[in-house]
Amino acid sequence: MRKGVGAYGANEEVTFHPVGVVRTEASDDEIRERSRELEATIEVFPEFQEGLDGLEGFSHIFVLSFLNRLKPEQIGPLKVRPRRLLRKGFRLEELPLVGVFAIDSPTRPNPIGLSLAKLLRREGSKLTVLGLDCLDGTPVLDIKPYREDYRVEQYELAEWYRGLRDRAGRDV
């Protein structure tokens, strides 16, 4: 293990404090099915509002969130099946068992979500966004602007993912 400031061991505790919360009138099922089409509001807590200064003008933001509604059995497994494909007609036994770092399942060792959403407007401490895949009441840990240098022109997808995508007819 490295020594010094910022060197963490595998068993050391890391603590985060939410900077805000997600608010939406959409049901959990609506968010799971069609979050890309839905608006939501991120209510940033007053003590963090000045951190939003300068965010206006960015078209998209990354939102890091705490997946606070996971069941205890969803936190920790390192192998999962891409279960969202069950809604697209796949059977569970057809889905590959893959590592959680190879999929965007909410089941993870640390229940942290990452979303890219379109920033529609800022009104004081409230951000109205489109396409945020967070449930109502989800704590927001951080917000970062999307910049062009994040864009990747050439990328590869795992063979198992390409096969599922081809069968589903679009990104899975």
Highest mean pLDDT among 10-24, 79-93, 127-141: 127-141
In b/e form, how buried is each residue of 42-58, taking b as 16+ CB within 10 angstroms? bebeeebeeebeeeeee
Residue 62 CB contacts under 8 Å (≥ 6 apart), including other chains: 114, 115, 116, 143, 144, 145, 146
Residue with tokens 């209510």: 43
- Residue 167 DSSP label: H
Residue-level pLDDT at 2: 41
Q: What is the pLDDT of residues 63-104, one digit of tens each?
A: 999 999 888 888 888 999 988 888 888 999 999 999 999 988
Rounded Cα distance, 104 and 93, in Å: 19
Long-range contacts made by residues 27-30, C-beta under 8 angstroms, separation at least 24? 28/135, 28/136
Closest CA to 111 of 127, 135, 130: 135
Q: Where in the chain is the domain with CATH 2.40.30.70?
A: 17-69+111-147
Report the amino acid identity of residue 41. T
Residue-level pLDDT at 92: 92
pLDDT of 20 higher than 70: yes
pTM: 0.86
pLDDT of 115 higher than 60: yes
pLDDT of 1 higher than 60: no
Residue-level pLDDT at 106: 87
Higher pLDDT, 133 or 36: 133
CATH number of 17-69+111-147: 2.40.30.70
